[in-house]
Amino acid sequence: GAGVSQSPRYKVTKRGQDVALRCDPISGHVSLYWYRQALGQGPEFLTYFNYEAQQDKSGLPNDRFSAERPEGSISTLTIQRTEQRDSAMYRCASSPKGHLYGYTFGSGTRLTVV
Amino acid sequence: AQSVSQHNHHVILSEAASLELGCNYSYGGTVNLFWYVQYPGQHLQLLLKYFSGDPLVKGIKGFEAEFIKSKFSFNLRKPSVQWSDTAEYFCAIHGGSQGNLIFGKGTKLSVKP
C-alpha cells in the first residue's frame, strides 16, 4: 500500500483479555518495527523484523507480549492477559531496510485497558 | 547504553519567532541522528536526518539541525516559525549495531498566531 496501515485505530479491552494489533507495512519494505508510546513520552522500542525473522525483541516488556511476521509482510503484535499499564499508543513503522532512509510510521493503535 | 535527552517539554512561541529545540545524546561511537515531527492527529514523519558530511543538515519546511560532535548535540532550528509548525518534535539516534532508533521524550511546540 501507499503507507503503513495499522488496525484497529482504537481498541478498548477489559483487563485480562488478549488483544492482537495488526501492521501492514509499505509493500517491499524489509524492516518492520514496533514501538509503544505512553502519554508525554517518546516512542519506546519493542521489537523489529527483517523479512520474517525477528531480529531483536529486547524491548518487549515481558512474556505477555509477542510479535510475528510469518510471511515477511503483515505483522501482528499480541498482548496476552492485558493489564491497565499496557494502555498506550502502539506504533508500527517500516523501512526499505534498516534505518538509512528513516522509518515510515503508521497512524498507530490506541489501546485502552479498562 | 544509548539515550536521547530533549531539554524542553513544551515551548510556546509567537509566529515569526526563531526556534531552537535542544537534543543531546549519549553514545560514544558513530551515530546517525534524526528529527521526527508529529502534527496534531497525524503520524510521525521524518523531518531531517544526519549521517555524515556537512554537520548542518537542512530538512523540509525550512527546518535545519546542526550536529556538534564535541557537545553530543543535534539541535533543531528554524529562523521564523509559523502557526502550522505547532506539533510535537522528537529527536532520535541510531548507533553501532543497534538495529532500531532510540527516541527522546519529545518537545511540544505551540505557535501562537
Q: Do B90 and A100 touch (CB under 8 A)?
A: no
pLDDT at A101: 76
User: In chain B, which residues have their Cβ closer than 8 Å to the Cβ of A33?
Assistant: 100-101
CA distance A82 to A14: 8
For B93, name the nearest residue in chain A, comparing CA atoms only.
A99
Q: Do A103 and B46 touch (CB under 8 A)?
A: yes
Please report the sign of the dihedral spanned by the C-alpha atoms of residue A38, residue A12, residue A26, residue B44. negative
Q: B65-76 in b/e burial notation, b at 16+ Cβ within 10 A? A: bbbeeeebbbbb
Given a contact cutoff of 8 angstroms between Cβ atoms, the answer to whether B66 and B55 are in contact is yes
CA distance B113 to B110: 10
The answer to whether residue B99 neighbours chain A at the CB level (below 8 Å) is: yes
The answer to whether residue A38 neighbours chain B at the CB level (below 8 Å) is: no
The answer to whether residue A53 neighbours chain B at the CB level (below 8 Å) is: no
CA-based nearest distance A32→chain B, Å = 10
pLDDT tens by residue, A8-46: 999 999 999 999 999 999 999 999 999 999 988 899 999
Strand-pair category, B31-38 with B24-26: unpaired
Three-state secondary-structure class, residue B43: coil
Rg (CA), chain A: 13
Smallest CA-to-CA distance from A53 within A63, A67, A39, A65 is with A67
- For residue B41, what is its C-alpha cell? 492527529
pLDDT tens by residue, B38-92: 999 899 999 999 999 999 999 999 999 999 999 999 999 999 999 999 999 999 9
Determine which of A83-87, A108-112, B5-9, B10-14 has the lowest per-residue pLDDT on average. B5-9
pLDDT at B95: 82
